[in-house]
Structure 1
Amino acid sequence: MADAADVLAAARAKGWRIATAESCTGGLIAGALTEVAGSSDVVECGFVTYSNAAKKKMLGVTAASLEAHGAVSEQVAREMAQGALRASGVDLAVSVTGIAGPGGSEVKPEGMVCFGVATAGGVETETVQFGALGRSEVRRATVAHALALLLSALS
């Protein structure tokens, strides 16, 4: 399992800077990265865009995407990651949007999280169903998965 120190070391080795765009984690990914001493040479910024209005204003997520797909969707995760990359001028951005719980629906159950990873080469997205683990555990699992995606993108 990737940890923040591994991500920072890999980014440092490539000379890359990182930004995060977070909804359901509320800044926990940026927090995990900046918990490591010396992270300032790699971490540029983190966007916490919990509301749809913030997603649109800060990251350029389109109203059309929000309306057609909902905030918890790979399309919105894609636009969040692209927006973070564009707004911060970094080399690598990760985004997360999901249902931490409690609650959810049949279509978008508790524990469903959409991820985006953007570089100059493009964006990859995926959806993970962590299950109804409880709010704290879904958020913790989301951070761990986002760090693993960052590390993979740096490899």
Structure 2
Amino acid sequence: MLYMDIQIYSDDRYLKYAVDSLKTVYPGRRQIHFIDVDIFPTIKALRDYIYQETTDIQRIIFISRGMLLAAVLAKEIDIHISAPLIHWRACINRMPGKERECALLKLDNILTLHRLTYRERLLAAELRRSTSLRLTARTMDYSVKQLQTLSMSIYRKMNLKNTNQLHFVLRNLLH
């Protein structure tokens, strides 16, 4: 019998030890890669890591502490770091997660703002360049009220709480 091949990419030593102790014996060899998304500075860095380092992995399981990057990736997070032990064991045994290609595709869609409409993408691109909604409104020839409504729909689609988080994510996490 072989143990599961579990790899953990995190800076949390306790997490590494805990997940390592949950390895179970299986008749076949199964490869799981746990990735702590909160240790990456940007979504592009996370995508690059998956592209370069996980070539022979069957499943990728995203874990999170609930930081801002995890809010943007909320639909992709498989398990929270403070989840009970029963959830971790079930996660390892059921092996949910994503295949490597599927994870890369979903991260590419987030980077390219695939969920947004054309107008929302134009606004997001302009918000990356300018410092305020007024300058953006002047550049795009919209009223400030229209841009506020449009930016509200963007940050709701991106699972953020306000426009300040939207500006931070657009400038720092999605490049």
Q: Same fold (TM over 0.5)?
A: no
Greater share of residues in strand? 1
- Which protein has greater RCO, CA pairs closer than 8 Å, 6+ apart? 1
TM-score by length of 2: 0.29
Greater share of residues in helix? 2
Question: Max radius of gyration: which structure?
Answer: 2
